Chain A
């Protein structure tokens, strides 16, 4: 772990000033940053500890939505009564991830900004374009069981490891950020990036910008939803494939639906065409099959991870069934409903 200067600002303006320079990292829960610093993957020269900023509250928005403070922990968010009642998809996704200890420390802002679990990214003795631009990608042609099947580039096939973000994508959350240039909101689909030619950029935050909150819109997906996660062991493992579904049924037809995938791309994977394709349809395996095909169109396997294409297809169909039936996946009972 590199040596760094440590600052602990007490208000947001001060934090943003502290965070403006080069080689600065904001420290919140630390569950990913400290891990990366120990591996010498992250080497900030200044760590700005933002834990004292007043950003830990969960508050109702005037329009009926909910604002999740960036520093509210994943656990406090998942167990918040309003989240449980109004956004059970989000609660479920959070509880599918990590461990209770990690969720007690990890924050919502940090969850968005956690970095990939790619083996090569994590091992500084291997090539990785995300870690060192231009160094090459070890995972392409290497060990890539956990890598992307969608939206990858010839520079990077890493995936975003979050569960929470997959639900946030399906819920069309907005990310509130602040920086020296002021505040702005970023639609969730625009928050994370595909690797393209700049795989070292995980998201569209500008340098020094700080996530302050995540806003959930006032939409009711509390009946027909699910978060289905498949992984190599039944808990405390990253997703091979996960599916978040938020659905609204009217008179037996799909009035609205959002489908987001985790574990398959550099960002939570959504495709509006896939969702539009099944709107106004009655739920059926055939209809869901259509959605899955549309969502996975163009998926490419890298060898070890090629199985994810078929797995994701089946998982999407099952998740849509769970949502339509109003039988969301339990994160405790591991039977897949």
Chain B
């Protein structure tokens, strides 16, 4: 039987929001034309810690067009209790409250908002606000802050934090080990730097209601947050984030521009827009700086006998941001003895935050460099080394995986890359004046699932709308929703409209952690299955009951707008006929997908993870140490792939950011002034076109009906994990120079003799 053409799960459907994006019609937070709009520009604090002594805003107020200079002295009422300022992803501590009082907690903190009739007037006047401070001693230097490092007591830890679970005796095994590697590994502070700057347009309707167009990764998160912070009723706050110009974690939590814009709107009873400048984008979320002491012991064969890790990451003085750093290595490798420790170190900056694959991107990258060192120590091929220490189970918690096709990823990746041709010795491959190096590293991330609701609405003409308050930050959620709906109901994608990014829609969590596709997809599927049930029932009313014999929708194929009896494909009813026969003008249902609803999810505890094998070729000038990443193969085991086209893009993006992590990205802080200094795109380098050559993505077959309802594991993070380490390891192979501190800038390579 020829399978009828059907767009479904696994089809490389082009992005359904593509036309809007390539024509400039897609509207982002700062782009909604709102009548009578005011523009707010924030004034950042000059100092890193202290108090505002006085504010002279006379000159700013004199500027024609300026409506208000809002400070802690004249801002509208806001909640006093920290509890009211919590958002879905709040972390233990005191959430930052802009213009709350005279305290300055970090350099760049917004201490005033100039609001004017034009952006230009506000920008000009913001430069005229004069503020005097009582300066207090600060510390922003990570190394200095290590003196204050601590593990927060239970109750003050992030609920996402997993304490490392020791096994065996790592110290004794290390002492006894034939081969040893030990060192301090570092990652510099990075900033997310999504292309769209954080922006909010708050539309004041005049009837107590506001609509907030916000750059955030979850509309309902902002909604709940603003309602709590400004004592508003949730129903009076609608938040729209239909298009989000990248996030990578910086928009997981509502940022200060939405506080300021909302405050300004309440104070002035007018619509207000606040957009961060690129410089100000450096005064909030960032990936924490990390120091990670690693000790590995192994036998001569390369079999690991001891893993020891002790990591510290940076946070602020007002919130305890925590990541899982040391656990990844302990989970990934078969090794009888393992021990890990973790602390955080406070400094006078904004709180560090989740950035693409938080914890794993850092911890796995640094650990995989150490693993590479041990492979050389053992004189075992680095890929073979990883096979020797392969763990079929999640090694830290000693539980099975729902699936783990990492071995296949290693094999398929190696084959595509041509790993077998590799010459083992460092500095042994050369072309012209460039040393060529090949490196490999492993990636690992969580496959997560989060309670999500979706609505499906089928009209009598056969048009379907699916909706959920989920977000699409470039991840392809619109397309995934469309595809899952098309798959379930057999409709052509052009009959389907996917709606998201609106707090009025069915409940969905913040988009992040790679759970959106699995969760929103499952919710849409449930809703569409409910529609299918109703259609099936209605089909009973169709003359001659063509589907007679079918017991449930599982006996039917939904294809080309028809229900087709699986056992006899000549028997079919179109969806529109069924609705007409059933007397239905519209079918509308809302369903919620949640862990526990499916037996697969509620099964006995298993580890749920994505894995990857990343292979990298670098070319390094033998004298000048200029590094070029010329080839990457990233083989990913991530369960079922809904859309190979957009899925590939997710991995490409992760790889590019991983190359940035390996070679470019580093935010410099001036310890004396307490300020981030390279706060712009010219001096904070993200990879440019010229830095990115050939990237190949492989999705290895990994059927996993257990992990989530659709068998989807998620792809937003896994692409970056492992990439930076593979680059670092390739650089070692090329040059014989082992750099344990990311990014590997030219100065670090020049310092080391080959």
Q: Please indicate the chain A residues that have their CB under 8 angstroms from the CB of B621 in the complex.
A: 335-336
Whether A138 and B747, one on each chain, are in contact in the complex, defined by CB atoms closer than 8 angstroms, is no
Tell me whether B626 is interfacial, beta carbon within 8 Å: yes
Q: Please indicate the chain B residues that have their CB under 8 angstroms from the CB of A146 in the complex.
A: 683
Tell me whether B44 is interfacial, beta carbon within 8 Å: yes
Label chain A's interface by main secondary structure: loop
Q: Please indicate the chain B residues that have their CB under 8 angstroms from the CB of A2 in the complex.
A: 124, 127
Whether B750 and A234, one on each chain, are in contact in the complex, defined by CB atoms closer than 8 angstroms, is no
Give the residue of A40, A233, A307 whose beta carbon is less than 8 angstroms from that of B691. A233
Q: Please indicate the chain B residues that have their CB under 8 angstroms from the CB of A307 in the complex.
A: 746-747, 750-751
Could you tell me the distance between the alpha carbons of A238 and B688 in the complex, rounded to whole angstroms? 13
B711-754 to A contact mask, C-beta < 8 Å, 1/0: 00000000000000000000000000000000001110011000
Give the residue of B124, B433, B672, B691 whose beta carbon is less than 8 angstroms from that of A235. B691
Considering only residues 445-487 of chain B, those with a C-beta below 8 Å from chain A are: none
Tell me whether A181 is interfacial, beta carbon within 8 Å: no
Tell me whether B273 is interfacial, beta carbon within 8 Å: no
Whether A335 and B619, one on each chain, are in contact in the complex, defined by CB atoms closer than 8 angstroms, is yes
Tell me whether B172 is interfacial, beta carbon within 8 Å: no
A232-253 to B contact mask, C-beta < 8 Å, 1/0: 1111111010000000000000
How many Å from the CB of A288 to the closest CB on chain B?
12
Residue among B63, B619, B621, B751 facing the most chain A CB atoms (10 A cut-off): B621
Tell me whether B624 is interfacial, beta carbon within 8 Å: yes
Give the residue of B675, B685, B746, B747 whose beta carbon is less than 8 angstroms from that of A123. B675
Q: Please indicate the chain A residues that have their CB under 8 angstroms from the CB of B745 in the complex.
A: 232
Residue among B123, B669, B678 facing the most chain A CB atoms (10 A cut-off): B678
Considering only residues 10-60 of chain A, those with a C-beta below 8 Å from chain B are: 38-40
Tell me whether A311 is interfacial, beta carbon within 8 Å: yes
Q: Please indicate the chain A residues that have their CB under 8 angstroms from the CB of B673 in the complex.
A: 126, 138, 142
Whether A138 and B670, one on each chain, are in contact in the complex, defined by CB atoms closer than 8 angstroms, is yes
Residue among A124, A318, A335 facing the most chain B CB atoms (10 A cut-off): A335
Tell me whether A62 is interfacial, beta carbon within 8 Å: no
Q: Please indicate the chain A residues that have their CB under 8 angstroms from the CB of B691 in the complex.
A: 233-235
Tell me whether B690 is interfacial, beta carbon within 8 Å: yes
Give the residue of A120, A233, A315, A334 whose beta carbon is less than 8 angstroms from that of B685. A233
Tell me whether A117 is interfacial, beta carbon within 8 Å: yes
Whether A119 and B683, one on each chain, are in contact in the complex, defined by CB atoms closer than 8 angstroms, is yes
Residue of A whose beta carbon sits closest to that of B684: A232
A113-124 to B contact mask, C-beta < 8 Å, 1/0: 000010110111
Assuming the contacts A234-B688, A235-B690, A336-B624, asked whether A1 and B668 have C-beta atoms less than 8 A apart, the reply is: no
Considering only residues 151-198 of chain A, those with a C-beta below 8 Å from chain B are: none
Tell me whether A273 is interfacial, beta carbon within 8 Å: no
Could you tell me the distance between the alpha carbons of A123 and B678 in the complex, rounded to whole angstroms? 9
B673-690 to A contact mask, C-beta < 8 Å, 1/0: 101011110110101111
How many Å from the CB of B434 to the closest CB on chain A?
6
Tell me whether B341 is interfacial, beta carbon within 8 Å: no
Tell me whether B234 is interfacial, beta carbon within 8 Å: no
How many Å from the CB of B347 to the closest CB on chain A?
16
B43-66 to A contact mask, C-beta < 8 Å, 1/0: 010100000000000000001000
Assuming the contacts A119-B677, A119-B683, A234-B691, asked whether A3 and B124 have C-beta atoms less than 8 A apart, the reply is: yes
Whether A230 and B746, one on each chain, are in contact in the complex, defined by CB atoms closer than 8 angstroms, is yes
Whether A233 and B624, one on each chain, are in contact in the complex, defined by CB atoms closer than 8 angstroms, is no
Residue of A whose beta carbon sits closest to that of B125: A3
Q: Please indicate the chain B residues that have their CB under 8 angstroms from the CB of A1 in the complex.
A: 120, 123-124, 127
Tell me whether B628 is interfacial, beta carbon within 8 Å: yes
Q: Please indicate the chain B residues that have their CB under 8 angstroms from the CB of A138 in the complex.
A: 670, 672-673
Q: Please indicate the chain B residues that have their CB under 8 angstroms from the CB of A64 in the complex.
A: none
Could you tell me the distance between the alpha carbons of A234 and B663 in the complex, rounded to whole angstroms? 11
Residue of A whose beta carbon sits closest to that of B619: A335
Residue of B whose beta carbon sits closest to that of A236: B688
Tell me whether B608 is interfacial, beta carbon within 8 Å: no
Q: Please indicate the chain B residues that have their CB under 8 angstroms from the CB of A230 in the complex.
A: 624, 626, 746
Whether A143 and B669, one on each chain, are in contact in the complex, defined by CB atoms closer than 8 angstroms, is yes
Tell me whether B664 is interfacial, beta carbon within 8 Å: yes
How many Å from the CB of A161 to the closest CB on chain B?
9
CB pairs A–B below 8 angstroms (21 shown) = A3-B63, A120-B677, A123-B679, A124-B127, A125-B44, A126-B673, A126-B677, A142-B677, A143-B670, A146-B683, A230-B626, A230-B746, A232-B745, A233-B685, A233-B691, A237-B682, A307-B751, A310-B750, A311-B750, A334-B626, A335-B432
A→B interface (CB under 8 Å): 1-3, 38-40, 117, 119-120, 122-126, 138, 141-143, 145-146, 230, 232-238, 240, 307, 310-311, 314-315, 318, 334-337
B→A interface (CB under 8 Å): 44, 46, 63, 107, 120, 123-124, 127, 279, 432-434, 619, 621, 623-624, 626, 628, 663-664, 668-670, 672-673, 675, 677-680, 682-683, 685, 687-691, 745-747, 750-751
Given A119-B668, A336-B624; 7 other pairs, CB 8 A cutoff: A123-B677, A124-B127, A126-B670, A142-B677, A145-B668, A146-B683, A236-B690
The 9 closest A-B CB pairs, nearest first, are A235-B690, A307-B747, A119-B677, A125-B46, A234-B690, A143-B668, A143-B677, A40-B127, A233-B685
